[in-house]
Structure 1
Amino acid sequence: MQVIADILLAAGAFGAGFYCFILSRRLKRFSDLEKGVGGAVAVLSAQVEDLTKIVDTARAAAGSSGAELQELTRKSESVAHRLELLIASFQDVAPAEEAPVQAPAPSPSPKTNKTPAPGLMFQRTAQGVEEAAS
């Protein structure tokens, strides 16, 4: 009986040792920096650092853009206020009486006595092309 118990105990020890050997190989692959989860964690950590730098840069750019936008808004409001004052001052000035401007009468050009055919828009004359009288 003692021999059977020793054999079973030795088999159990060998089984546990084999299990530990397989487990250690799996853990090595799991924590490998190039292929395993350790590599993925290292890559993600580097990406997080890059993204943090990019976000900080974007935040600084947004802050400076916001300051520039506030300055331009302040300037545009002052210009708008000055324009309102100018428009109000122009409304106070009485409009000057102006004579209506008449277009100069076209000088008579020697035309041929031919009347243009219906539907023609232009008529050829000795001085060039002129619009046909409708």
Structure 2
Amino acid sequence: MELIADILLVAGALGAAFYCFILGRRLSRFNDLETGVGGAVAVLSAQVDDLTKTLEAAQTTAGASGEALETLTERAEAVSKRLELMVASMHDLPAQSEKSPEAKSPLGPIFRRHNPAGASQ
């Protein structure tokens, strides 16, 4: 009976050793840097590094663009205030005299020049 138990124990050990050998070969192929997952991990790691650099550059550019936009907005607000003051001051100008038709519109003489009736004058 001990002989049968010893034979079964040796057979089980040989089977486990064969199974470990097969798993070891599969694992070495799995971690191969050229064709296996190891290569994929290496490529993905390189891509993550590239994307990190690109993201940092984009953040720097966005910050600079934001500052430039803020400066331009401040300038536009200042110009807008000046234009509002100019328009408000236009109401303070004296009204033009309505005696001559040219005084109504600065384009009057231009139209008279091109008017056939004005050409005979």
Rounded to whole Å, the distance in 2 between the matches of 1:80 and 1:107 is 44
Greater shift after overlay, 29-38 or 92-101? Answer: 92-101
1:21-64 CA distance string (max 9 Å, x none): 01101111121112222221111111111111001000000000
Rounded to whole Å, the distance in 2 between the matches of 1:50 and 1:43 is 11
Are 1:17 and 2:17 counterparts? Answer: yes
CA-CA distance at 1:2 after TM superposition: 2.7
Bigger helix fraction: 2
1:62-99 CA distance string (max 9 Å, x none): 00000000101111111111111111111110221242
Rounded to whole Å, the distance in 1 between the matches of 2:72 and 2:2 is 96
Instruction: Give SS of 1:55's match.
Output: helix
Q: Cα distance 1:39–1:79, how it changes in 2: closer, same or farther (>3 A)?
A: same
Instruction: Give SS of 2:91's match.
Output: helix
State the TM-score, normalized to the length of structure 1: 0.73
CA-CA distance at 1:106 after TM superposition: 6.2
2:85 corresponds to: 85
**Alpha carbon RMSD of aligned pairs, Å?**
1.8
The percentage of counterpart residues that share the same residue type is 58
2:104 corresponds to: none
Instruction: Give SS of 1:56's match.
Output: helix
Rounded to whole Å, the distance in 2 between the matches of 1:13 and 1:21 is 12
Task: Give the paired residue count.
Answer: 108
Partner letter of residue 86 of structure 1?
Answer: M
Bigger strand fraction: 1
Q: Which runs of 4+ in 1 moved over 4 A?
A: none
2:8 corresponds to: 8
Larger radius of gyration: 1
Greater shift after overlay, 80-89 or 33-42? Answer: 33-42
The answer for unaligned runs of 5 or more in structure 2 is 102-107
Rounded to whole Å, the distance in 2 between the matches of 1:106 and 1:89 is 36
Partner letter of residue 51 of structure 2?
Answer: L
State the TM-score, normalized to the length of structure 2: 0.80
Partner letter of residue 90 of structure 1?
Answer: M
The answer for unaligned runs of 5 or more in structure 1 is 109-134
Partner letter of residue 38 of structure 1?
Answer: G
Rounded to whole Å, the distance in 2 between the matches of 1:107 and 1:76 is 46
2:28 corresponds to: 28
